[in-house]
Amino acid sequence: MSHKELADLIFPNAKEISYYEGKYPERNLTEGAIVTRYAPSPTGYMHIGGLYQALIAIKVAKQTNGVFFLRVEDTDQKREVENGVIEIVNSLKKFGLEADEGMISSEEGKGNYGPYKQSQREEIYQAYAKYLIEQGKAYPCFCTPEELDEIRAKQEAAKIRPGYYGVWAKYRDLPVGEAIEKIKNGEKYIIRFKSGGREDKKIKHHDVIKGNVDFPENDQDIVIIKADGLPTYHFAHAIDDHLMKTTHVIRGDEWLSSVPLHLQLFHELGFKPPKYAHIAPIMKNDEGNKRKLSKRKDPEASVSYYEKEGIPELAVKEYLLNIANSNFENWRRANPDKKIEEFDFQLNKMGVSGALFDMVKLLDVSKIVISQMTAEEVYENAVVWAEQYDAELENLLKDKEYAIKVLSIERGNKKPRKDISKWSEVKNNIIYMYDENSLEYSYPDAIDKEDINEILKLYIEKYFDISDDKQTWFDKMKDLAEEFGYAREVKEYKQNPDAYKGHVGDISMVIRVAITGRQNTPDLYEIMQVLGKEQIEKRIQNAVV
RNA sequence: GGCCCGUUGGUCAAGCGGUUAAGACAUCGCCCUUUCACGGCGGAGACAUGGGUUCGAUUCCCGUACGGGUCACCA
């Protein structure tokens, strides 16, 4: 009885591995080109952490003229969610992170190293599992889940390391003949990897991000093929990243402690291992404790949150890049007009521990991104967002010509306003330019209430002329101020505050509040030009009590 | 609990044996400004802790505390 017979019995139809080795040749890439991948499980909505990983992976691949591919890891059918794959594909697309190869819909992929969905690669895994069995490096294990639980319970009771290893690996040394007999009798089994590792020996590993890390060798006989015939993550990772020629495995650092196992698997399979870059997760402060951003508890963990809020994709990417390479910020300030693609990203400059997600900072990045857009761009984005999430705003934006005028105020110059951080704020930012009947008037306390009506009346009767240029309008404000005992210049007032009731700024504030219902608006002159003569007259009349 | 990893201002973070310990967001003040912003200038604010090693430790070593990860027929 030989290992070969056992292997043939278990996987009678599996091909020779040489078939696959030949089918997927080395990639013809230039020196230094990096091949990366994003390999999510289709288990629900896309997580911001996934986007983060994908962004980094694609950045690294692109800037070295390498390849970035999307592989779907759906070996756990129990957790799979309907439309999970399409959700991932669409999310990536929305953020402009399209893969060179990989899944493009639920079932289809593109590229020469596919299939890119693990459930479609079953025969490949089985071929390699068969190869390992033939080599005596893998074997069938007949333990039931209940038996495994018992073993673990015993180990815990005895306070020793749990797991399937050493003397606890019940079937690792079962004579081949007996294994064959059990299989022929119809006993259920899974395939385990036969580890030659020793827990008391250390391996050294250099992680691109984490640096040098020492681990004990792996001595666990982990399962490689499950009862359903599909591989576990570890096995699929080794096979796929070898066959797909991944050079850098960029993944969450929850995998760091699996590195000894993975290296061992690559070695036993005769593969050249990839470089590993383990990314720290994005954290959230939860009552003093740091924890991973959680899809269940934190709405901002889902990428769909940003869409709903109307935070531009570019802002999210810039913020993420900020977290990933802190020198990005300096680069951005020095190169405000350059594209993200031009930034030289360095994996080894990534922080080793997880950063707390900072919404305030994200919104600041977003403000800058939006402030650099033209009125037209802001308009288009706001419309797209409003169609989906805000019917009222959508309605306001119907009159495109007027909307563009409104959005153009203090935009497009060298120092654009930064008062919109997300599309959901646009309505509040422009609504007073539309509805003159729902304004609320709240004047600064410093202004004598008695004066307000008189200022407004006099302004409209004596000074208001829509055709005034800015300087004339300006001078008239000063005249008006003087007429009411307010200083023409702020400086004059400050030098001699007792001589005046206030200064010209107070007067223009009165006009501003009357016209817009706000104390905080962009340049008043420009607003008045957009509003037009009739509107202004009407608004000031409304404001007069 | 075992094994890994980490700990610089409120947050993100540079620095990696000798620095006045960068910068950004947030915060405060001033200036500019008709107003609101923008912008400019400035303030406050940090090397978890105890031992070593060293002429000298934020930087190196050990311990402690705290935080994170991992120990599945899940990824």
Give residue-wise pLDDT tens across range A351-361.
Answer: 888 888 999 99
- Cα dist from A472 to A358, A462, A478, A521, whole Å: 46, 13, 10, 21
CA of A48 to C1' of B27 (A): 28
CA of A356 to C1' of B5 (A): 17
Helices (H) and strands (E) in chain A, counts: 23, 15
Q: What is the pLDDT of residues A151-196, one digit of tens each?
A: 999 998 888 899 999 999 999 999 999 999 999 999 999 999 999 9
Please report, rounded to whole angstroms, the spatial distance between the CA atom of protein residue A523 and the C1' atom of nucleotide B37. 8
Token pair 């797991």 is found at A163
- pLDDT above 90 covers a percentage of chain A that reads 62
Does the pLDDT value for residue A527 go beyond 80?
A: yes
Say which nucleotide is closest to residue A355, CA to C1' distance: B12
Measured in angstroms, what separates residue A451's CA from nucleotide B33's C1'?
24
* Banded pLDDT at A493 (limits 50, 70, 90): confident
Three-state secondary structure call for residue A189: coil
Beta-carbon neighbour count of residue A306 at 10 Å?
A: 22
Residue nearest to nucleotide B1 (CA to C1'): A159
Closest protein CA to C1' of nucleotide B36, residue: A520
Residue A366 pLDDT > 90, yes or no? yes
Q: Which nucleotide is nearest to A353 (CA to C1')?
A: B6
Q: What is the pLDDT of residue A275?
A: 95
Q: Determine contact, residues A70/A102, Cβ cutoff 8 Å.
A: yes
pLDDT confidence of A282, banded at 50, 70, 90? very high
Asked if the model's pLDDT at residue A260 lies above 90, the reply is: yes
Q: Which nucleotide is nearest to A237 (CA to C1')?
A: B75
pLDDT greater than 90 at residue A470: no
Confidence of residue A477 (pLDDT cuts 50, 70, 90): confident
**Nucleotide nearest the Cα atom of A494 (by C1'):** B31
Averaged over A256-279, what is the pLDDT?
Answer: 95
Distance A501 CA to B36 C1' (A): 21
pLDDT digits (tens, 9 = 90+) for A415-463: 788 889 999 999 988 988 988 777 778 777 777 777 888 888 888 888 8
**Rounded mean pLDDT, A232-248:** 97
Which nucleotide in the DNA or RNA is closest to residue A362, CA to C1'?
B25
The pLDDT, as a whole number, for residue A439 is 78
Whether A504 shows a pLDDT value over 90: the answer reads no
Confidence at residue A97, expressed as pLDDT on a 0 to 100 scale:
94
User: To the nearest whole number, what is the mean pLDDT of chain A?
Assistant: 90
pLDDT of A394 higher than 80: yes
Q: What is the pLDDT of residue A444?
A: 74
Handedness of CA A125, A130, A135, A139 (dihedral sign): positive
Residue nearest to nucleotide B13 (CA to C1'): A326
pLDDT for A236 equals 97
**Statement: residue A289 has pLDDT above 80:** no
Distance in angstroms: CA A246, C1' B26? 41
> The pTM is what?
0.92
Protein-to-nucleotide distance from the CA of A212 to the C1' of B22, whole angstroms: 27
* Residue A255 CB burial class (10 angstroms; 0-12, 13-18, ≥19): middle
Point out the residue nearest to B12 (C-alpha to C1'): A323
- Per-residue pLDDT reduced to its tens digit, A148-163: 999 999 998 888 899 9
Query: In the complex, which nucleotide's C1' lies nearest to the CA atom of residue A291?
Result: B68
The CA-to-CA distance between both ends of chain A, in Å, stands at 104
Residue A316 has a pLDDT of 95
Q: Which nucleotide is nearest to A286 (CA to C1')?
A: B67
pLDDT at A497 over 90: no
User: Which residue, among A304, A275, A153, A164, has the nearest Cα to A220 in the 3D structure?
Assistant: A164
Q: Give the pLDDT confidence score for residue A13 in this predicted structure.
A: 92
A493 neighbors A487 (Cβ within 8 angstroms): yes
E strand map for A318-459? none
Strand partners, A279: A252
Specify the DSSP class assigned to residue A204.
E
Q: What is the pLDDT of residue A261?
A: 96
Residue A264: what pLDDT?
Answer: 96
Q: Is the pLDDT of residue A5 over 80?
A: yes
pLDDT of residue A424: 93
Residue nearest to nucleotide B11 (CA to C1'): A358
Cβ–Cβ under 8 Å, residues A142 and A188: yes
Q: Identify the weakest region by mean pLDDT among A100-104, A266-270, A470-474.
A: A470-474
Flag whether pLDDT at A259 surpasses 90. yes
Count of Cβ atoms closer than 10 Å to residue A375 Cβ: 16
Averaged over A387-392, what is the pLDDT? 94
Whole-angstrom Cα distance, residue A281 to residue A413?
39
* Separation in Å: B48 C1' and A208 CA: 27
pLDDT at A26 over 90: yes
Residue A530 has pLDDT above 80, yes or no: yes
Q: Are A192 and A172 in contact (CB under 8 A)?
A: yes
Q: Report the pLDDT value the prediction gives residue A448, as an integer from 0 to 100.
A: 74
Find the Å distance, CA of residue A420 to C1' of nucleotide B45.
29
Residue that the structure tokens 């278990």 belong to: A10
pLDDT tens digits, A309-346: 999 999 999 999 999 998 898 889 888 888 999 999 99
Query: Nearest 5°: phi and psi at A176?
Result: -50, -40
User: Nearest nt (C1') to A371 (CA)?
Assistant: B38
What confidence score (pLDDT) does residue A257 get? 93
**Structural domains present in chain A:** 3-15+122-279 (3.40.50.620), 375-433 (no CATH), 449-543 (1.10.10.350)
Separation between Cα atoms, residue A348 and residue A334, nearest integer Å: 22
- Can you give the distance from the CA of residue A76 to the C1' of nucleotide B28 in angstroms? 54
What integer pLDDT is reported at residue A273 of this predicted model?
96
In contact, A176 and A5? CB cutoff 8 Å: yes
Strand B, nucleotides covered by protein (CB < 7 Å): 1-7, 10-14, 22-26, 31-39, 67-75
Q: How far apart are CA A168 and CA A147, in angstroms?
A: 11
- How would residue A70 be classed by pLDDT, with cut points 50, 70 and 90? very high
ipTM of the complex: 0.92
